[in-house]
């Protein structure tokens, strides 16, 4: 695929910084990802559609392995899971973090080795625990004292399940209130400061059916600074040291969760992985040396940073309307396939693809097709002034927490997922259709 640099488009509008690394500009104004023209994807699979650059996902897995050669890296499946995604991350040497029986079941049936899977969840259903034990997951992360007896009873007297305890280290970090999980006053984990973490650890250690391999924390999501992770390490090692002194137990593992932030728009910061890796390692070694503990094996659980930048959402424009001062560009998807702007106020940088426009850029608000005013995908963005119905818009950095949080609001079926790789496109997940809705609707 050749790359033709356009010269008559303002640089800022033409910045591909947040697009997959394989993105190239085509002479007709379209963009290609992994050698596949995006307008062709929109034509062939219809819109809304999500394209995933397989090579970008694999590259990101490799970047993690390079930055953290000594750590276990678990891909957080909640960001996006399909059988292909499970295969890609497995082939790249990552493990998996799941938080439901069916995420677990889907991954295992796709060939994911269960011993490389960790089960999370603040409220595990009986089925979650049963599936985890039946499929023999590597670790279950205990999030509540009541899980101790439940898991132990399900394991039975002859078994032993490896578990971790999720701790709230009292570190506030994350891109939005709804995704900050490192402090007391939210539903996850056991508090370090009020003593419930230490009490729960003691109970787990006393349970013969459970083998406590280590501690876990996940301080939040979309974190772009290293410092909160260092504070978390310090507190977690402090707790491991107390566990050692109080119970004589040396815990061999420390899971620091995910949360690594990415840029959604050109110019936004992202978490620097090599720097994070280096400083985490130093902090961990220093703290362990200071407290006389052996250095535990580190686990991390990135989701967004593995798959987010590999995804592109494609929409057709259905209507363009000026209301007062605002130009609304309405597309054929919206909050059903991407609830993130409505939930977290996230900003995206949509772009016209499929044709070349020489119109001056003007400010527009990209909205969806759903029946509520909050259905805004991107407020006040720059788009060519001649955007019209029939045009194709693409939104980059669409791979994480969009499809996985999608709904069928207004019975607009969830979009297909198309993998792009080495010049070819293949369908991974088909579009949800009326037949799907009708087949679930079994009563009158
Ligand atoms: N580990 C645990 C225990 C988690 O709860 C999460 C995310 C992760 C790892 C992965 O975090 P990541 O590396 O993807 O930031 N829906 C929100 C994000 C919610 C994150 C929930 N937990 C969003 O769209 O921004």
Distance 404 CA to ligand 1 centre (A): 11
Q: Which atom of ligand 1 is nearest to the CA of 259?
A: 15
Q: Which atom of ligand 1 is nearest to the CA of 141?
A: 3
Beta pairing, strands 117-119 & 95-98: parallel
Distance 32 CA to ligand 1 centre (A): 29
* pLDDT at position 3 over 70: no
Average of per-residue pLDDT across 7-29: 77
Estimate to the nearest angstrom the gap between the alpha carbon of 161 and the chain centroid.
27
Structural fold of domain 68-302:
TIM Barrel (3.20.20)
Domain boundaries, the chain: 11-53+309-440, 68-302
Distance 283 CA to ligand 1 centre (A): 23
Q: Are 266 and 220 in contact (CB under 8 A)?
A: no
Examine domains 11-53+309-440 and 68-302 and report if their fold is the same: no
Mutation test residue for ligand 1: of 78, 80, 181, 225, the one with most atoms within 8 Å of CB: 78
pLDDT band (50, 70, 90) for residue 4: very low
User: Which tokens go with 334?
Assistant: 């919206």
Average of per-residue pLDDT across 34-56: 98
Give, in order, the Cα–Cα distances in Å from 90 to each of 3, 110, 141, 389: 32, 10, 21, 41
User: Which tokens go with 11?
Assistant: 């640089």
Distance 259 CA to ligand 1 centre (A): 6
CA-nearest residue, atom 15 of ligand 1? 259
| 3-class SS of residue 230 | helix
pLDDT of residue 174: 83
**If one looks up domain 11-53+309-440 in CATH, what number appears?**
2.40.37.10
Q: Is 371 a catalytic residue?
A: yes
Instruction: Please identify which of the residues 61, 99, 217, 371 carries the catalytic annotation.
Output: 371
Question: Among residues 275, 152, 170, 270, which one has the least CA distance to residue 220?
Answer: 170
- Kindly list the protein residues whose Cβ atom lies closer than 6 A to any atom of ligand 1: 76, 78-79, 97, 120, 179, 218, 221-222, 257-260, 301-305, 340, 344, 401, 405
pLDDT one-digit tens code per residue, 230-267: 999 999 999 999 999 999 999 999 999 999 999 999 99
CA-nearest residue, atom 24 of ligand 1? 401
User: Which tokens go with 69?
Assistant: 């050669």
pLDDT of residue 182: 86
Question: Among residues 258, 279, 261, which one has the least CA distance to residue 270?
Answer: 261
pLDDT of residue 10: 40
* pLDDT at position 14 over 70: no
What is the average pLDDT score of the chain?
Answer: 95
pLDDT of residue 2: 34
pLDDT of residue 424: 98
Q: Which atom of ligand 1 is nearest to the CA of 301?
A: 9
- Please state at what angle helix 227-247 crosses helix 196-205, rounded to 10 degrees: 50
Which pTM was predicted? 0.96
Average of per-residue pLDDT across 343-347: 96
Q: Which atom of ligand 1 is nearest to the CA of 340?
A: 24
């Amino acid at each position: 695929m050749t790359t033709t640099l356009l010269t008559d488009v303002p640089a800022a509008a033409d910045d591909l910084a947040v697009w997959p690394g394989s993105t190239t500009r085509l002479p007709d104004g379209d963009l290609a990802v992994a050698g596949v023209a995006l307008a062709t994807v929109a034509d062939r699979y219809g819109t809304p559609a999500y394209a995933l650059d397989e090579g970008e996902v694999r590259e990101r897995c490799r970047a993690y392995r390079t930055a953290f050669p000594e750590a276990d890296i678990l891909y957080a499946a909640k960001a996006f899971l399909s059988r292909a995604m499970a295969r890609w991350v497995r082939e790249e040497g990552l493990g998996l973090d799941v938080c439901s029986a069916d995420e677990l079941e889907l991954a295992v049936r796709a060939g994911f080795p269960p011993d490389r899977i960790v089960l999370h969840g603040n409220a595990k259903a009986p089925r979650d625990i049963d599936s985890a034990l039946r499929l023999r997951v590597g670790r279950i992360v205990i999030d509540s004292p009541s899980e101790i007896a439940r898991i132990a009873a399900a394991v039975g007297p002859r078994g032993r399940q490896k578990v971790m305890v999720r701790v709230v280290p009292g570190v506030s970090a994350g891109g939005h209130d709804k995704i900050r999980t490192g402090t007391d006053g939210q539903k996850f984990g056991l508090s370090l400061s009020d003593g419930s973490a230490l009490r729960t650890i003691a109970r787990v250690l006393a349970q013969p059916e459970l083998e406590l391999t280590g501690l876990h924390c996940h301080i939040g999501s979309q974190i772009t600074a290293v410092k909160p992770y260092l504070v978390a390490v310090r507190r977690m090692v402090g707790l491991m040291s107390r566990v050692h002194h109080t119970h004589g137990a040396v815990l061999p593992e420390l899971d620091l969760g995910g949360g690594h932030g990415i840029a959604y728009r050109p110019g936004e910061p992202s978490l620097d992985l090599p720097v994070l890796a280096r400083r985490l390692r130093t902090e961990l070694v220093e703290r362990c040396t200071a407290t006389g503990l052996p250095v535990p094996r580190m686990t991390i659980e990135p989701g967004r940073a593995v798959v987010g930048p590999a995804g592109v959402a494609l929409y057709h424009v259905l209507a363009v309307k000026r209301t007062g001062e605002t130009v609304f560009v309405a597309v054929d998807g919206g909050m059903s396939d991407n609830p993130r702007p409505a939930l977290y106020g996230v900003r995206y940088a949509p772009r016209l693809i499929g044709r070349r426009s020489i119109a001056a850029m003007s400010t527009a608000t990209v909205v969806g097709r759903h029946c509520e005013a909050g259905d805004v995908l991107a407020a006040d963005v720059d788009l060519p002034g001649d955007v019209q119905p029939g045009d194709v818009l693409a939104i980059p950095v669409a791979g994480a927490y969009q499809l996985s949080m999608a709904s069928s609001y207004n019975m607009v079926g969830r979009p297909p997922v198309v993998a792009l790789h080495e010049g070819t496109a293949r369908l991974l997940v088909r579009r949800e259709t009326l037949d799907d809705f009708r087949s679930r609707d079994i009563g009158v």
